[in-house]
């Protein structure tokens, strides 16, 4: 697993994603990359696009670059920072083929704070590969290909969509005739509870994404190189209180 250094890798991080605990790539035992991105396999994508499994905050009070305290162990990375109004702790831990990311925010201001956060993992397309030696780098949308994205439990409802459909097995799929080069953002209707998303994967078979929080909003986004489910949480944190939540990814389960 590759995690960006929030001090040394600023040119890759930009302002959209949380710098601490940014998972840039995950590899299998054969050192093959398992994650994608909007510009993948570009080794230096625009910071707004990124790749891997970034996470993003919407906290109006968090407006300045963070200096992070970093603790690295054999199976974990912990990154923590203190701002004027909050403390933020990001922990990424590996347990076998499972990666869990946990976030803790404490409100050290004198007023209530609303936190809106979402994971934005980028997965490779489940289309045919033109060259097995290239790993995921040559995976592209192909007409008639298997463009399955994932199955959500409890089930999601897909509104009428120009680019997505749900098949008879409740799998959300990409329509192969949509012009995916321009991308498509599509909100899904999901129950306000914890979600499990089973994602087909061209190398490890599947990835199981599980939220440790009730999801308040969950769109899907895709382009010709990747797709992403974006499960959001939102909560009010009172002065002096802390909130913690996590998301896990089981590779090849």
Q: What is the pLDDT of residues 164-207, one digit of tens each?
A: 999 999 999 999 999 999 999 999 999 999 999 999 999 999 99
Tokens describing residue 178? 């949509």
Q: For residues 93 and 99, is the Cβ–Cβ distance under 8 A?
A: yes
Q: How far is CA 173 from CA 11, 40, 59, 184, 209, in A?
A: 34, 20, 32, 13, 17
C-alpha 26/C-alpha 33 separation (Å) is 6
Residue-level pLDDT at 145: 60
* Chain-centroid distance, C-alpha 133: 26
Q: For residues 202 and 124, is the Cβ–Cβ distance under 8 A?
A: yes
C-alpha 182/C-alpha 224 separation (Å) is 8
Within 132-212, residue ranges assigned H as helices are none
Token pair 């890798």 in the structure block, residue: 9
Instruction: Classify 2-251 by CATH class.
Output: mainly beta
Q: What is the pLDDT of residues 67-103, one digit of tens each?
A: 999 999 999 999 999 988 899 999 999 999 999 999 9
Q: What is the pLDDT of residues 11-50, one digit of tens each?
A: 888 888 999 999 999 999 999 999 999 999 998 899 999 9
Q: For residues 117 and 28, is the Cβ–Cβ distance under 8 A?
A: no
C-alpha 104/C-alpha 87 separation (Å) is 8
| CB < 8 Å & 24+ apart, contacts of 180-184 | 180/141, 180/222, 180/223, 180/224, 181/223, 181/224, 182/223, 183/38, 183/221, 183/222, 183/223, 184/221, 184/222, 184/223
Q: 139 pLDDT exceeds 90?
A: no
- Mean per-residue pLDDT over the chain, rounded: 90
**Percent of the chain whose pLDDT exceeds 90:** 80
Residue-level pLDDT at 56: 94
Look at the pTM and tell me if it is higher than 0.85. Answer: yes
* Domain coordinates in residue numbering, the chain: 2-251
Q: 136 pLDDT exceeds 60?
A: no
Residue-level pLDDT at 64: 64
Q: For residues 226 and 125, is the Cβ–Cβ distance under 8 A?
A: yes
Higher-confidence residue of 233 and 14: namely 233
Strand ranges, E, within the chain: 2-3, 23-25, 55-58, 69-72, 76-82, 86-95, 98-107, 113-119, 123-124, 148-153, 164-166, 172-174, 184-188, 196-201, 205-211, 218-222, 226-229, 232-237, 242-251
The H or E element spanning position 13 is helix 10-13
To the nearest 10°, report the CA torsion of 219, 61, 243, 233: -10
Q: What is the DSSP letter of 10?
A: H
At 143, the pLDDT band (50, 70, 90 cuts) reads very low
């Amino acid at each position: 697993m590759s995690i960006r250094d929030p001090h040394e890798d600023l040119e890759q991080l930009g302002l959209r994603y949380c710098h601490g605990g940014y998972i840039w790539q995950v590899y299998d035992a054969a050192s093959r990359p398992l994650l994608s991105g909007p510009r993948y396999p570009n080794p230096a994508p625009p910071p707004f696009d990124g790749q891997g499994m970034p996470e993003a905050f919407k906290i109006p009070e968090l407006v300045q670059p963070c200096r992070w305290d970093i603790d690295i162990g054999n199976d974990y990375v912990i990154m923590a920072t203190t701002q004027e109004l909050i403390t933020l702790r990001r922990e990424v831990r590996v347990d076998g083929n499972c990666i869990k990311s946990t976030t803790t925010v404490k409100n050290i201001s004198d007023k209530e704070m609303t936190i809106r956060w979402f994971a934005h993992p980028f997965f490779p397309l489940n289309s045919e590969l033109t060259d097995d030696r290239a790993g995921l780098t040559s995976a592209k949308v192909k007409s008639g290909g298997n463009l399955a994205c994932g199955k959500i439990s409890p089930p999601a409802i897909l509104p009428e969509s120009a680019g997505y459909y749900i098949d008879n097995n409740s799998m959300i799929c990409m329509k192969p005739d949509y012009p995916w080069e321009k991308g498509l953002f599509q909100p899904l209707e999901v129950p306000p509870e914890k979600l499990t998303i089973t994602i087909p994967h061209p190398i490890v078979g599947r990835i199981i994404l599980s939220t440790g929080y009730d999801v308040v909003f969950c769109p899907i986004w895709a382009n010709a190189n990747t797709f992403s489910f974006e499960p959001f949480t939102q909560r009010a944190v009172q002065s002096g209180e802390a909130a913690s939540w996590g998301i896990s990814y089981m590779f090849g389960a």
